[in-house]
Structures are given as structure tokens and as C-alpha cells.
């Protein structure tokens, strides 16, 4: 029996007792850790012990091909026996990756950061220039002034719909009026805001 331990930075301790497979098992310890962390949304327990008993005496073992999971490490087939729980972790991981790739293709979630449409600002911190900061502040002040110039009921409905994210149905229900009345009021308010802001152009 070969026994080894690998301690990660997060005090994640994996204890393996395996026969003739310790070298291969080392490759997928980190992958198991990563999958458990992503699946649970938090770090795994500080100490996790997985013990692989002697293969002869282990009844519920499954055979997996490491080449399917790690094609970059194994260019040839490498079959090992692992417990059902470990095999299920790999199966769940593969399903999760396939689902991610399918979702990425469906929604075309790939783009280039040099497209020039500003999409990279969603993931990168971009420091604004003093001129941009002034323009943004001025625009906000003008917008608030435009909303303040509206009748009280229109201003509250526009604020609730666009700033608080309330639906027109929810606003109508809270005020005890029809949805059509709220929609028309918001449309009239937007027209008034448009006229107000055109004065600054």
C-alpha cells in the first residue's frame, strides 16, 4: 500500500491510500478540489479524507480512463479503479463542462476585447478622465432636474419603474389603478423629460 498526502493552501487535506495508482491519482486531486469548490459555492471542508482500500477487497469500484479526463497528461489509455463516489464526481464535472460549453454556444458568449463597443468595461476597471466624470455628473444632475420638473405622480411612477425595477403591473396594483393608466402616465413623463433635456443640447 502506498500512502501520500497533499496539503493545499486552503488547508484542504487529501489522504489517499492506493495500490499502484498513487502517481496517476496525484494528477486529478486539484481537479476534484476545484469541482467541489465550484459545486458547493464555498471552499471544501478543511480536512477531507478519501481512502481507497485494497482493490481486491473493495466491492463497489468503477473503472475510468484518465485519458478521457486529462487528454493533455495522458496520450494513451490509462485505466484505474476508483470508488463510485469519485467516479460520480468526475461524471458530474464532465456534465457541468458540457452544459457550460452548450450555453456558451447558444448565447454566443464569445467576444473580442478589441471590438471597440465598450463591452470590456463590464469586466475591467477603467479609470474615467476628469472630463468624463464631469460629463457624467452633469448628465445625472440634468436627469434629476428633469424628473423633478414632472408632476409628483409621474415622477414617482418613473422612479419606481426605471430606478427601483418595479413592473407597471406592480405599480398599478400598489396605487389601486389600472396598468394602462400607469403606462400612459410614464409615457407622458418620458416625453416631458425628453423636451426638458433638449434645452441643454
pLDDT tens-digit series, residues 130-156: 888 888 888 888 888 999 999 999 999
Bridge pairing between strands 2-7 and 13-18: antiparallel
What is the per-residue pLDDT for 35?
A: 52
Can you tell me the distance from the alpha carbon of 97 to that of 12, in angstroms, rounded to the nearest whole number? 23
Asked whether the predicted pLDDT for residue 36 surpasses 80, the reply is no
Asked whether the predicted pLDDT for residue 92 surpasses 90, the reply is no
Of 29 and 182, more confident: 182
The answer to whether 197 and 146 have CB atoms below 8 angstroms apart is yes
Residue 75: C-alpha distances to residues 21, 25, 110 (Å): 17, 16, 29
pTM given for the model = 0.38
The answer to whether 17 and 51 have CB atoms below 8 angstroms apart is yes
Q: Please give the domain boundaries of the chain with CATH numbers for all domains.
A: 2-106 (no CATH), 125-198 (1.10.10.10)
Amino acid at each position: 500500500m502506498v500512502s501520500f498526502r497533499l496539503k493545499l493552501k486552503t488547508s484542504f487535506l487529501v489522504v489517499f491510500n492506493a495500490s499502484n495508482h498513487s502517481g496517476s491519482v496525484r494528477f486529478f486531486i486539484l481537479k476534484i478540489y476545484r469541482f467541489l469548490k465550484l459545486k458547493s459555492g464555498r471552499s471544501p471542508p478543511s480536512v477531507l479524507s478519501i481512502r481507497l482500500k485494497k482493490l481486491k477487497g473493495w466491492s463497489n469500484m468503477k473503472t475510468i480512463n484518465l485519458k478521457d479526463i486529462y487528454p493533455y497528461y495522458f496520450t494513451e489509455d490509462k485505466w484505474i479503479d476508483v470508488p463510485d463516489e469519485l467516479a460520480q464526481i468526475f461524471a458530474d464535472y464532465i456534465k457541468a463542462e458540457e452544459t457550460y460549453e452548450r450555453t456558451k454556444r447558444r448565447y454566443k458568449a464569445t467576444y473580442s476585447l478589441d471590438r471597440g463597443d465598450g463591452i470590456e468595461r463590464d469586466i475591467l476597471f477603467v479609470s474615467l478622465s476628469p472630463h468624463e466624470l464631469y460629463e457624467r455628473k452633469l448628465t445625472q444632475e440634468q436627469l434629476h432636474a428633469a424628473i423633478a420638473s414632472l408632476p409628483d405622480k409621474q415622477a414617482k411612477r418613473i422612479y419606481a419603474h426605471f430606478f427601483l425595477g418595479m413592473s407597471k403591473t406592480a405599480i398599478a396594483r400598489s396605487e389601486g389603478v389600472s396598468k394602462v393608466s400607469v403606462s400612459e402616465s410614464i409615457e407622458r413623463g418620458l416625453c416631458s423629460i425628453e423636451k426638458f433635456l433638449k434645452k441643454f443640447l
